Amino acid sequence: MERYTGKSVFGGVAIGKLFLYEKDEHQVKRVKTEDNDAEKQRYYKAVETAMEELQKLHDKALKEVGEANAAIFEIHQMMLEDDDYKESVEHIIDSQMVNAEYAIAQTGDNFAQMFSAMDDEYMRGRAADVKDITERLLSVLSGDSQSGINSDEPVIMVADDLAPSETVQMDKSKILSFVTVKGSVNSHTAILARTMGIPALIGSDIKLDKSINGRQGIVDGTNGCIYIDPDEETLERMKKEMRKEQEKKELLQTLKGKEDVTLDGKKIKLYANIGNIRDLANVINNDAAGIGLFRSEFIYLERDTFPTEEEQFAIYRTVAESMAGKQVIIRTLDIGADKQCDYFGLDKEDNPAMGLRAIRICLTRPEIFKTQLRALYRASAFGNISIMYPMITGVKEVDRIKEIEIEVKAELDSQGIEYGNPQTGIMIETPAAVIVSRELAKKVDFFSIGTNDLTQYTLAIDRQNTKLDDFYDPHHPAILAMIKMVADSAHAEGIWVGICGELGGDLNLTKEFLKMGIDELSVSAGKILSVRKVIRETNICEL
Ligand code: PEP
Ligand code: MG
């Protein structure tokens, strides 16, 4: 048995096979060959395997997400069999006497470029598909699994680090737990683990070696350790622990359908944070009263090109309709810092957390911002959507946003396009916004405090820097004083105030927040029922 440690970002126990995630970077070398026929055979065999993989994915998707969504795998199969693609690969192998990998990579690049240059938007979109099938073929040839999990059963995923853009693409139903060597407790991988309600460790000392693949592992998220090939005693002890966790979960289920109200009658908006439309099932299952933070930037991170207005509209509308009249607060894109999107074409920055991110991108690139706002306004005609702006530092930004909102509405009016009347709010996540919160409260419908960034900017601690985790203290008196100050400013101006940073789900502080007068807590879906329990046991007057 081997035992390694890590910092826990979500409790609980996971038992399953280990899977080492390695980045999908196929560095293709051009290698001369004498035997072009053998290289072509390797290519044909790879196509066959890829076709089988796609068929499996198609069948699975058909069951889980329906025909329309499964169709993409059929398209990929058609592309794999496309004569032009095939002829190009064969021609490169024959004429240059090179390896199959090089011919495939070259063909993929050429075709992707060709599609990208087309006028038709649908055809331009096919560039990503060509890249996808090319990567799949290269993965088959190198014997690796492709961007994720090559296993029929759910696994404990072990990785050096995981970027948000990588985690969004993973098949979450196959992940029992995350264990990473890098990453901080406030990284988005950690947030994802909390959203999924699965045990996770970061900053682990586990050895990243392919030999762990397929071996049995146990992640003890409560005590911050991982076992490989556990002995009988450990396995039994952990299974017992898992059963206990399960019982606790079942007990919480009795709170479903109950109101979020304190003993002395204050109603709290207990909402959920999501990053993705796929998180909705968890939100509904855990009985959240609304969505307090939809991190819309994940829509951008999942793609290779800007999501169109129509694509965004469809997503926002689905979320609003699925929540059936409950409030859905959608935050405009918070790209930048650790959430980098290549196609935004942003310059590399020395200090990205303090750089061009979030609302700063939107105000300097209004065409991107307006596309999102149009989609949001249009979707707000189909449900209870509110719009929230991140990284605000002062009144000037809010005034400029208001001007852009007016422009967007005027454009929609002139085109005769229907839209609703969404509430608009801002995130309070910079110390400057805290200080001027009274002025800001005059301009918006609500505040939501982003304690992750507020802690980073107040304590001058990079939330991504794992070495600083011991200094990253969201319980610091300065942070709590700021939260109180923001609550008072909001109430003085008659608006509501919530917390959507990770601190909102910290059960040690729930009572403190209620005492401060916080009206809304937006937490990961897995935490809803635990927070509900504390709310219902609290008497604010007695605090
Ligand atoms: C925050 O900063 O607290 C927040 C909720 O936003 P994010 O974690 O996405 O930066
Ligand atoms: Mg933030």
Mean pLDDT to the nearest integer, 232-257: 91
In this prediction, what percent of the chain has a pLDDT beyond 90? 69
State mean pLDDT over 466-489. Answer: 94
Q: Look up 188 and say whether it is catalytic.
A: yes
Pairing of strands 13-21, 216-220: antiparallel
Q: Degrees (nearest 5) of the Cα angle 238, 243, 245?
A: 95
Instruction: For residue 86, give every residue at least 6 positions away whose Cβ sits within 8 Å of its Cβ, in sequence order, or none.
Output: 47
Mean pLDDT of all residues belonging to the chain: 91
Q: How far apart are CA 71 and CA 51, in angstroms?
A: 14
- Interval between CA 386 and ligand 2 midpoint (Å): 17
The first and second tokens of residue 394, run together, are 């002062």
Residue 229 has pLDDT above 60, yes or no: yes
pLDDT of 146 over the 60 cut: no
**Substitution candidate for ligand 1 out of 426, 430, 452 with most atoms within 8 A of CB:** 452
pLDDT tier, 168 (very low <50, low <70, confident <90, very high otherwise): low
In this prediction, residue 288 carries a pLDDT of: 95
Task: Determine contact, residues 409/377, Cβ cutoff 8 Å.
Answer: yes
Pick the closest to residue 374 from 387, 383, 389, 361 (CA basis): 387
DSSP-derived secondary structure letter, 66: H
Alpha helices in 254-286 (DSSP H): 280-285
Cβ atoms of residues 483 and 462 within 8 Å:
no
* Rounded-to-integer distance, Cα 343 and Cα 366, Å: 16
Which tokens in the block code for residue 67?
């025909």
> Distance between CA 92 and CA 113 in Å, rounded?
17
CA of 457 to the centre of ligand 1 (A): 12
Q: What whole-number distance in Å separates Cα of residue 340 and Cα of residue 348?
A: 10
**Ligand 1 contact, 500 CB (< 6 A):** yes
Q: Which of 188, 225, 341, 362 is catalytic?
A: 188
pTM over 0.75? The answer is: no
Say if ligand 1 is within 6 A of residue 429 CB: yes
Q: Which residues, including other chains, have CB under 8 Å from residue 66's CB and lie 6 or more apart?
A: none
